[in-house]
Every structure is written in C-alpha cells, then in structure tokens.
Amino acid sequence: MTKKNLSQYAVGRVRALSAYTPGEQPSDGGWIKLNTNENPYPPSPRVRAAILEEVGADGEALRLYPHPLSACLRAAIAKHHGVDPSQVIAGNGSDDILNLLIRAFADGAHPVGMTVPSYSLYTVLVAMQGAALKEVSFDASMALPEDGILSCGANLFILTTPNAPTGVGFSNEQLSRLIGRYDGIFVADEAYAPFADESAAALLKDHPNLVVVRTFSKAYGLAGMRLGYAVADPAVIDMLDRVRDSYNLDRLAQAAAVAAIEDEAYLADTVARVRATRGKLETSLEKRGWFTYPSRTNFIFTQPRDRAGNTSPALTADLFAFLKSQKILVRAFPNHPLTSTFLRVTIGTDSQMQAFNTALDLWQTHAPLA
C-alpha cells in the first residue's frame, strides 16, 4: 500500500498556515527585556502564598483534577467586575479565550473582523479556523475606523483596546456608540486596560453583544502562569464553554489567579508605578523630538529620528539592532507602513528605562541618517 507524505494528511488550511511568532525569550541572563509587555514587578505576594498552599506538604492535591469550571476563580472575577459568575469564563491565557471566541463564532460562513495594525495572533487563529478575515485599516491618526468596522460584514469583531502595538486608547463614549450599532459579537480585547483610564467592562450592562477579554499577563505580572478571562452575556459564555477544554486551567493557575485578582491594592500600586514610569519615558522621548502615540498601556510606540529629524524603516531597524547589541530587547513591526518606522517598548522599571535612554543617547551620536 502506498501512503501519502505525512504532512499531506493535514488539512489544507493547516498546511498553508504560518504559526504565530511570539516575542523572543532569551534563555541567558543579563537582558533588559522590553519586547513582550511583561510587568517589571513580580505578582502580588499573595500569589506565591496561594500556590504554596495548594501544593501543600507533599503535592497531594495535584493528583486530583482541578475544578472544571474554575468556579472559585469565576466568582472572584465576577466580584471584581460587579457581575454575575454566569457572565465569566476563565482561560489558559487570554489567547485561549480568543481561540474559543473564534471557534464558537467563526467558520467558513462567518467572517472575523479586526483592525490593522493590531494583535497579529488574530490572523493566525482565523486562518486556523478556515474563516474569512475582514481587515479594517487605521490611518496614521490611529482614530477608531468606526464606519469601516460597521460595514465590514464580520460576525465577530475583535478590537484591541487600548490598541496594540500603538498604545492608543478609545473612549467608552465612542465604543458604546459603535457596539450599539454593531450587528455581531464585539470583542474588546482589553489586555492593557488596567493601565488605561476607563474600561469597556462598564458597557456590558448596555450591550449584550459585547465581550470583554482580559489577561493576568500584563498588569498582574503573571505572564508565566497563562491566565485570562472573558466577561460577557451568559448566552455567550455558554457558547464558549461548549468549545472549551473541560479542564483548561490547572490547580495552581486557578489558585494564583484568585489571589492576584483579590489583591486590588497591589494591582493599583503596580499600575501606578508603571504609569509613572511611562509618563517620564514619554517626556524624555518628546524632548528627543520623537513622535510617540499617547499610551494607555504598559508600552510606548515611538518613531526614532536621526540627527536631521528624519525617519525611515532602515533607521528603525538600525536602532533595533543596536539595542539588541546592548542586550536591550524591544519589538519591531517591519511589515506594515503604519508601523515600520516605529518601535514598541515595554515600560520597565525606572532604572531599566534609564538604561534604555542611555542606549538611545549612545546610538544617536553615531546613528546613520534615515
């Protein structure tokens, strides 16, 4: 019997798929890591305590399956947002939640909409599902393209808000008007919302078609634990639960997340520190004369200039490489004209930002012209 080449057994859309490329995670030490929007501060001390309690004296609890619904965590998230637990689902990172949304609300006959630029994972998840992608482009103002979103014909629209990689926020007033007119499921991917001034969560009571997605990876300092969630109408949560893995969150992750979300004071403190550092960085970049979008997130999106005040993709690439030579990792997005002259820089500690500024000084003295 002749068998096919192994990859030929895979379905066509997977054979054609390019997997999402996560930001670089160097395994050696000494790096200033400003490339994946991690929190420079550790999680609440309560997180460590909760993990140790769950592990216990001999790991006995680990032999038993976790709660399939993450019931305690859903209750804690519901309390945090002032909603009913039936409006909450928890996931193995917000990427898990995004995947569930696309599996439940998209297929060959149900397109997904997104703005460009935004989180490039959406593109991969949509291709994986065999759904059509409706891209709505920003212009350089990064103002919300309301008309484009309303007319794109997507059954499910995912908006990163505040947006990434630009950091730009959208007002609840504007979002409410948009979501109220949107005939489909509207996802506000709020990975960075704790660093902003308002959250679309306040709009849930008026808009049953709104899904607010959150992560513990950024503001809660728990990227290493893979924790995210969504808040939405119970009918939407029901659909997501149907395509969710029965035990998508392990025992330690559930315990860690409950501890993190209950420590509201620690969150407020961490966020305030990041925002203060962000303000200082924005001021210093302004002094350099570099255009930087106003950030509502834990990163800034800035456009490097040469000594003559010009910008170019090559100049940006030169700075990216120079920073890497100084063991400072940032993120570049060379594949789109709206992003190719910019760098995305995570807000680190004050001293990390000083090192970053020192590196910029050094680069500017010998940088090429754009």
What is the footprint of a second copy within residues 132-161 (CB under 8 A)? 155-156
Residue 361 C-beta: closest distance to a second copy, Å: 28
Instruction: Rank residues 124 and 317 by Cβ distance to a second copy and give the closer one.
Output: 124
Residue 12 to residues 16, 95, 106, 109, 152: CA-CA distances in angstroms?
Answer: 6, 23, 18, 17, 26
Q: In the chain, which residue ranges form alpha helices assigned H by DSSP?
A: 12-15, 45-55, 71-81, 94-105, 121-129, 146-150, 172-181, 234-243, 251-262, 264-288, 313-325, 350-366
Which SS3 state, helix, strand or coil, does residue 88 take? strand
List 30, 139, 141, 246, residue binding a second copy (CB under 8 A): 246
244 lines the binding site for a second copy (CB under 8 A): yes
Tell me which residues in 157-196 interact with a second copy (CB under 8 A). 181, 183-185
113 lines the binding site for a second copy (CB under 8 A): no
294 lines the binding site for a second copy (CB under 8 A): no
DSSP per position, 279-335 = HHHHHHHHHHT-EEPPPSSSEEEEE---TTS---HHHHHHHHHHHHHTTEE-EE-TT
Instruction: Rank residues 56 and 82 by Cβ distance to a second copy and give the closer one.
Output: 56
Which SS3 state, helix, strand or coil, does residue 33 take? strand
265 lines the binding site for a second copy (CB under 8 A): no
Residue 209 C-beta: closest distance to a second copy, Å: 6
List 61, 78, 202, 367, residue binding a second copy (CB under 8 A): 61
List 34, 38, 158, 212, residue binding a second copy (CB under 8 A): 38
Q: Rounded to an integer, what is the distance from CA 216 to the centroid of its chain?
A: 10
Residue 9 C-beta: closest distance to a second copy, Å: 5
Specify the pairing of strand 185-189 against strand 156-160.
parallel
DSSP per position, 115-145 = EESS-THHHHHHHHHT--EEEEE--TT----
Catalogue the long-range contacts made by 72-75 (C-beta closer than 8 Å, 24 or more residues apart): 72/254, 72/258, 73/229, 73/249, 73/254, 73/257, 73/258, 73/261, 74/229
Mark the segment that binds a second copy (CB under 8 A) among 102-110, 187-195, 308-316, 344-352.
Answer: 102-110
Mark the segment that binds a second copy (CB under 8 A) among 41-49, 167-175, 189-197, 333-341.
Answer: 41-49
Place of tokens 């009918």: 235
Using N-to-C axis directions, what is the helix angle for 264-288 and 350-366, rounded to 10°? 20
Write the Ramachandran bin of 280: left for phi over 0, alpha for psi from -120 to 50, otherwise beta. Answer: alpha
Residue 86 to residues 53, 65, 73, 134: CA-CA distances in angstroms?
Answer: 27, 22, 12, 31
Site residue total, a second copy (CB under 8 A): 94
List 123, 176, 209, 284, residue binding a second copy (CB under 8 A): 209
66 lines the binding site for a second copy (CB under 8 A): yes
Instruction: Rank residues 260 and 319 by Cβ distance to a second copy and give the closer one.
Output: 260
Place of tokens 């200033």: 32
Residue 69 C-beta: closest distance to a second copy, Å: 10
Mark the segment that binds a second copy (CB under 8 A) among 30-38, 132-140, 289-297, 316-324.
Answer: 30-38
9 lines the binding site for a second copy (CB under 8 A): yes
Helix (H) or strand (E) holding 186: strand 185-189
Tell me which residues in 221-240 interact with a second copy (CB under 8 A). 221-226, 233, 235-236, 238-239
51 lines the binding site for a second copy (CB under 8 A): yes
Residue 230 to residues 203, 240, 261, 309, 345: CA-CA distances in angstroms?
Answer: 14, 10, 14, 43, 27
Instruction: Rank residues 119 and 342 by Cβ distance to a second copy and give the closer one.
Output: 119
272 lines the binding site for a second copy (CB under 8 A): no
List 87, 99, 302, 339, residue binding a second copy (CB under 8 A): 99
List 247, 291, 322, 363, residue binding a second copy (CB under 8 A): 247
Residue 349 C-beta: closest distance to a second copy, Å: 12
Instruction: Rank residues 68 and 279 by Cβ distance to a second copy and give the closer one.
Output: 68
Residue 359 C-beta: closest distance to a second copy, Å: 21
